[in-house]
C-alpha cells in the first residue's frame, strides 16, 4: 500500500531541517569525544615523558656529584702523567758521561796516554733551554790532553773519536814534539833521551733532536 505524507510542505521542510541539525549535533559530539580521547592520550604521554626526564635529570645529578668528588684524583693523575713524561724526557736527554767514558776506553789507541780530560755541558742542551742550531766548528765542550809517540798517533786518536756518536766537530788544538831526558844515570852510561808528542784535541757534544723538558710544574696544577 502506498504511503502518503499528509503533512503540509512547510512542516516537511521543517522536519528535514531538524533532522539535519540533530545529525550535525551528533557529529559534533562525536568529534569532541574523539578530540577528548586524543588529548587524554597525549597528556598521558607527556606526563610519562616528564617523569622519564625527571629520572634522567636525577641520574645526571648523581653522576655530576661523583665527577665533582673524583675531579681532584683526575687532576692528580694528570699531574702524575705529566711528571712521568717529564722525567722520561730528562732521562732520555741526559748527557751520558759514563757511556762516553766507556766508549772512549774502547776506541783510544794503546800508545796514547791521556793526561787530562775536561767536559762541560753546553747551555743549549740543558733542560728548558731554547732550541739551538748545531754547534759551530771550534766549539769545545770536551777537551783531551795527553801524549803519544808520533803525530800519526794523534791523527788515529782523532779518527777513532769520530766513532763516538755523542761527539762532533773533533778538532786538533795543538800537537807538538817534546823531548824527555832520563834522570836515572848509571855509572859509565849516557843519559837516555826520548822524544814524544803532546797534543790537545777538542770536541763538541752533539745537540739533541728534541730539547729536554724542564721539571718546573705548570702554574695552576694542584700539588
Query: What pLDDT is attached to residue 223?
Result: 39
Nearest Cα neighbor of 204 from 134, 147, 155, 156 is 134
Rounded Cα distance between 45 and 76, Å, is 46
Rounded Cα distance between 125 and 93, Å, is 8
Query: In which band, very low, low, confident or very high, does the pLDDT at 9 lie, cut at 50, 70 and 90?
Result: low
Rounded Cα distance between 211 and 164, Å, is 21
Asked if the model's pLDDT at residue 190 lies above 90, the reply is no
SS3 135: coil
The region of weakest confidence among 89-93, 170-174, 189-193 is 189-193
Nearest Cα neighbor of 205 from 176, 180, 170 is 170
CATH topology of domain 97-205: Alpha-Beta Plaits (3.30.70)
Please answer whether residues 46 and 54 qualify as being in contact, where contact means their C-beta atoms are separated by less than 8 angstroms. Answer: no
SS3 221: coil
Query: What pLDDT is attached to residue 108?
Result: 92
Residue 220 region, left (φ>0) first, then alpha (ψ -120 to 50), else beta?
left
Query: In which band, very low, low, confident or very high, does the pLDDT at 122 lie, cut at 50, 70 and 90?
Result: confident
Query: In which band, very low, low, confident or very high, does the pLDDT at 219 lie, cut at 50, 70 and 90?
Result: very low
Which stretches of 93-147 are DSSP H helices?
97-107
Amino acid at each position: 500500500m502506498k504511503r502518503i505524507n499528509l503533512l503540509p510542505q512547510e512542516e516537511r521542510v521543517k522536519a528535514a531541517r531538524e533532522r539535519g541539525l540533530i545529525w550535525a549535533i551528533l557529529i559534533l559530539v562525536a568529534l569532541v569525544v574523539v578530540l577528548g580521547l586524543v588529548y587524554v592520550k597525549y597528556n598521558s604521554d607527556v606526563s610519562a615523558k616528564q617523569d622519564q626526564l625527571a629520572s634522567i635529570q636525577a641520574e645526571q645529578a648523581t653522576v655530576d656529584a661523583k665527577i665533582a668528588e673524583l675531579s681532584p684524583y683526575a687532576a692528580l693523575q694528570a699531574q702524575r702523567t705529566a711528571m712521568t713524561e717529564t722525567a722520561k724526557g730528562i732521562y732520555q736527554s741526559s748527557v751520558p758521561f759514563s757511556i762516553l767514558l766507556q766508549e772512549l776506553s774502547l776506541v783510544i789507541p794503546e800508545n796514547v796516554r791521556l793526561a787530562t780530560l775536561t767536559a762541560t755541558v753546553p747551555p743549549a742542551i740543558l733542560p728548558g733551554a731554547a732550541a739551538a742550531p748545531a754547534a759551530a766548528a771550534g766549539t769545545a765542550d770536551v777537551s783531551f790532553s795527553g801524549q803519544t809517540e808520533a803525530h800519526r798517533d794523534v791523527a788515529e786518536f782523532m779518527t777513532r773519536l769520530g766513532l763516538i756518536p755523542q761527539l762532533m766537530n773533533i778538532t786538533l788544538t795543538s800537537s807538538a814534539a817534546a823531548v824527555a831526558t832520563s834522570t836515572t844515570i848509571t855509572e859509565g852510561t849516557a843519559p837516555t833521551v826520548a822524544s814524544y808528542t803532546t797534543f790537545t784535541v777538542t770536541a763538541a757534544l752533539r745537540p739533541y733532536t728534541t730539547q729536554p723538558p724542564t721539571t718546573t710544574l705548570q702554574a695552576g696544577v694542584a700539588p
